[in-house]
Structure 1
Amino acid sequence: MPLFKKFPPIEKILEAYTAIADGHVKLENDQALVTSSNEAKTYTVTFHDNTYTSNDNASYWQGYLGYPGIAVLMLQGKLPYSKELAQQFAGVDWNKINQEYKRNYAQAADAVMTAKGIDKKKAETELHHVYNALKQLPIIVKRGSLRPPKAN
């Protein structure tokens, strides 16, 4: 049973795929550094036992685990992810697209899948698989002491 109250929008999984496909996640002993899709910011995800913090805006201000934390969980093997699907989302500047769609993450994801010719039904099936696994994870998501970074 998950130990966090708020769940991220399901589309944040796609942003985690981009971070992984673009090599933007650097795992260390008890933390990871995750560079944003436009490379303007680097977020810090910390983990100890089953407690995770991240200083991305979603985790810090909204109280749900943002894409940097999701990407870390995938690379740690705690969440499933499709390497094939992740590669299809390589090179996406989510910051720009999310601004374009005024943070309507569903519309932004739809636009990216259309532009890249990604099989939406297959992608959505995979997203639900990962999202359901996330809902079952026995992890604690807390607000860390690090504030969100400013753009580089």
Structure 2
Amino acid sequence: MEYWKLPPRVKVLEALGCIGDGRIEFTGEREARVTGSDGQRVYRVVWDGGLGIASDDNGSVYRGYLGYPSIAFLMLKGVLPFDSKLSKALKGIPWRELNEKFKSYRETENYVRELLSQKGVSWAYVEAFIRKVLGEIEKLKPYKIPLER
């Protein structure tokens, strides 16, 4: 069995923003379409009902980590922790644009940190939530399943 690698920290925030934006559309009990932040791409997520999940987003396909579409899916299914306050605060962030501009997840995260600070969101709160989600991913060990067409 092949397990997903731990995603970059910022992908937890991107998943919350995706949910806040309403960009995840369930097409069935175990499948969803997730629209990218710029509206140009649509990713497919398929779940086995347990800890097996697949997605065709770039992080999943090319880097082998659990991508933000899968994280968002698992949050909405109650498998991973979700925070509606943070999700609302992260609404409307142009993730793809920021990732291309900064070419560094750390720089993107720093930029988002500033945005959240302007909205009065404590970074300590955000940091604790990121650690909580990454800890759950590490503990649960979601694994790769085939993404059948």
Q: Does 1:65 align with 2:66?
A: yes
Measured after TM superposition, the shift of residue 5 of structure 1 is 5.0
Query: Does 2:6 correspond to 1:14?
Result: no
Corresponding residue for residue 125 of structure 1: 128
* Structure with the higher fraction of residues in helix conformation: 2
Separation in structure 2 between the aligned mates of residue 141 and residue 119 of structure 1, nearest angstrom: 34
Farther-moved stretch of structure 1 (114-123 vs 63-72): 114-123
**What residue number does 1:25 align with?**
24
Q: Distance in 2 between matches of 1:133 and 1:113?
A: 22
Q: Which amino acid aligns with 1:107?
A: E
Aligned pairs, number: 144
Paired position in structure 2 for 1:150? none
Aligned partners of 1:87 and 1:109: how far apart in 2?
17
Name the residue aligned to 1:84: 85
Shift of 1:133: 1.1
Task: State yes or no: 1:139 paired with 2:142.
Answer: yes
Mapped to 1, the partners of 2:36 and 2:74 lie a distance apart of 17
What SS class does the counterpart of residue 19 from structure 2 fall into?
Answer: helix
Gaps of 5+ in 1: 147-152
- Aligned pairs for 1:37-116 (under 5 A) are 37-49=37-49, 50-102=51-103, 104-116=104-116
Q: Aligned residues: percent identity?
A: 31
Q: How many Å apart are 1:36 and its aligned residue?
A: 0.7
**CA displacement at 1:113 relative to structure 2:** 2.0
| C-alpha distance 41-5 of structure 1, shift in aligned 2 (>3 A) | closer
Report the TM-score, using the length of structure 2 for normalisation.
0.89
